[in-house]
Structure 1
Amino acid sequence: MTFPGLQHVAITVSDLQRSTDWYAKLFGADPVLDEDEEGGEFHHTVFALDGGMLFGLHTHQGRESKDTFDERRTGLDHVGFALPDSASLEQWGKKLDELGVQHGGIKKAHYGSGISFRDPDGIALEFFIAPGT
Structure 2
Amino acid sequence: MAFPGLQHVALTVSDLDRSTRWYAALFGTEPVLDEDEEGGRFHHTVFALDGGMLFGLHTHQGRESGEPFDEQRTGLDHVGFAVGSHAELERWAQRLTELGIGHDGIKRAHYGSGISFRDPDNIALEFFTGPDS
The TM-score normalised by the length of structure 2 is 0.99
CA–CA distance in structure 1, aligned partners of residues 119 and 111 of structure 2: 24
- What amino acid maps onto 1:38 in structure 2? E
Q: Deviation at 1:132? A: 1.1
Q: Aligned residue for 2:36?
A: 36
Q: Aligned residue for 2:105?
A: 105
Q: Aligned residue for 1:116?
A: 116
Q: Deviation at 1:104? A: 1.1
Instruction: Give unmatched runs, 5+ long, in structure 2.
Output: none
CA–CA distance in structure 1, aligned partners of residues 104 and 32 of structure 2: 30
- Say how many residue pairs are matched: 133
CA–CA distance in structure 2, aligned partners of residues 48 and 22 of structure 1: 15
Q: Aligned residue for 1:8?
A: 8
Identity %: 77
Cα RMSD after superposing both structures: 0.3
Note the alpha carbon deviations across 1:83-118, whole angstroms, 9 max, x for none: 000010000000000000000100000111000000
Classify the secondary structure of the residue corresponding to 2:115. Answer: strand
Classify the secondary structure of the residue corresponding to 2:24. Answer: helix
Instruction: Give unmatched runs, 5+ long, in structure 1.
Output: none
Matched, 1:26 2:26: yes
> 1:29-108 to 2 correspondence within 5 Å?
29-108=29-108
- What amino acid maps onto 2:15 in structure 1? D
- What amino acid maps onto 1:49 in structure 2? L
Runs of 4+ aligned structure 1 residues displaced above 2 Å come to none
